[in-house]
Structures are given as C-alpha cells and as structure tokens.
Amino acid sequence: MKIIIKDLLEYFDIKESTDFGDTTATISIVGEDLCSAIFKHYCESNRGSKVTILDPNLHIPTTMRKKGRRLDRWILEANSNDQILYQTEIKNWCSRAIGGVNVPLVIDATELDRLAEINWSHHYSEFISQTQNGLNKVLINMISDQRLSKDSNLSLNLQYSKEPLLLLWHVCKPKDEKNFFYKFTLPETHHHYDYCRIFSCSLYLRDLCEKNIESITIDMPNVSRRLDRINLLFKS
C-alpha cells in the first residue's frame, strides 16, 4: 500500500482535519498494522535489516497463562550480526485521543520537542507505575517466544535476543531525547524489564518529510483484506 506521508500526518495529527469519530473508525480498520508496517519500513530502509511481523492469529506475545497479559505483535528484526525479537505493544494514539495535542505539519524543532514532551507526560506515570496496566505490560516477560522455534516458516536462531518494544503513532518522547527510535530506561524496576525501546511513527514520517520523501509503500495485508470486504458489503 502506498501512503502519502503529509496526508497521513494531517489526518492523525490535526484534529480539524477530521470529523468526530473518524480517526477512531479508521484505527479500527488499520489496527496495529499501520504502526508495525511503518516500523518495518524504518528498520529495512535505515538499519539494513530484514523484518518479519508475525501473524497474530498464529503467534501472539503472552505469558502463557489463561488470565495473563498479552501484547499485540512479535516482530523479528534480523541482520548479518544478530536477531532481535521484539515483544511489541502498539498504541495508535493521535490528536483526537484524550489529552492529545495538534501537531502542525510545518513546525520548528523546538516546538515539536515541546509537544512531544507534553504527550510523554500524559503516559509517563502509567509507564513507571508499580501496578500493571495497559501500557507498562510491555515490560512483562512474554514467554511464548519459546514456541516460535517450532515454526518452520520462521528462521529463529538460538542466539536471538528479546526486547520490549512500544510502537506509538503520535509524537512522544522525553525531554532532551532527539530520536524517534530510542531506549527509555526506567528510574526503578517493578517488572521483568527495566527498559523499553520506543518508536514514534509520526516523528519518523516527519523526518522523511524533511528529506523530501513524499510517500512510502508498506505492506498491510490485514488492512487490504478488511477494505476488500467492506467494499463488497457496502457499495455506493
């Protein structure tokens, strides 16, 4: 699928570009596919990696308990040196989310950092909380990776490392952080991991805009299937 970067940024980052309920409806269709596909594009375009997004219908990060926490995706990043298996939580928060802020397409770096810090402040307390919640559950060790080696379609070597990854749509980062893909280390350890890799899709796409890249092509098979079905059900 081809996406026009500025159009997508305007749609999700500026409230006035949509009517009430539009982004929620769109997110229900694109689900977690959008953020994971953008992250894959970054890794393969900038890090020279090969990325495999595992089918959540077959493999999902879980504690293997009936009532245990689960995440959204296993994402495998492989290069010539190593393999990283990310246990991934995805949040499609945008300007219309509770507490969300408008982020203009044309904006200087200082103001962009300020708005990103505002978004970060909204989630920080959840992230460092001793109580498990929908955000810091990414820090819980998902042990279902042990089953992945039995998947004949997945080339998972014995030396892979496993890391927690939080994929966000909106601009969001701590003060003084300059990157859109960064490692955040918690001040205290309350869960299995004391750090998390965090990737902001909006900040990455804005970086591409700065490089005069107008569009990218990403693979979202679940979205294509859903749109095909919708077009069959509802015809103008």
pLDDT in tens, 169-191: 999 999 999 999 999 999 887 88
Sign of CA dihedral 164, 105, 223, 50: negative
pTM greater than 0.85: yes
Whole-number Cα distances in Å, 47 to 21, 50, 94, 142, 190 = 36, 9, 26, 25, 31
Sheet holding 73-78, edge to edge: 50-53, 73-78, 83-91, 161-168, 195-200, 181-185
* Phi, then psi, of 8 in degrees rounded to 5: -70, -40
Dist CA 33 CA 115 (whole Å): 25
Whole-number Cα distances in Å, 101 to 96, 116, 167, 199 = 8, 9, 18, 18
Dist CA 26 CA 134 (whole Å): 21
Sign of CA dihedral 41, 43, 47, 49: negative
pLDDT of residue 152: 61
What average pLDDT does the chain have? 91
Percent of the chain with pLDDT over 70: 98
* Phi, then psi, of 163 in degrees rounded to 5: -140, 150
pLDDT of residue 95: 86
pLDDT of residue 72: 96
pLDDT of residue 70: 93
Dist CA 9 CA 214 (whole Å): 11
Question: Which residues are CB-neighbours of 96 under 8 A, at least 6 positions away?
Answer: 15, 18, 20, 23, 24
Confidence of residue 28 (pLDDT cuts 50, 70, 90): confident
Q: Region 219-235: what's the mean pLDDT?
A: 88
Which tokens in the block code for residue 7?
A: 């159009």
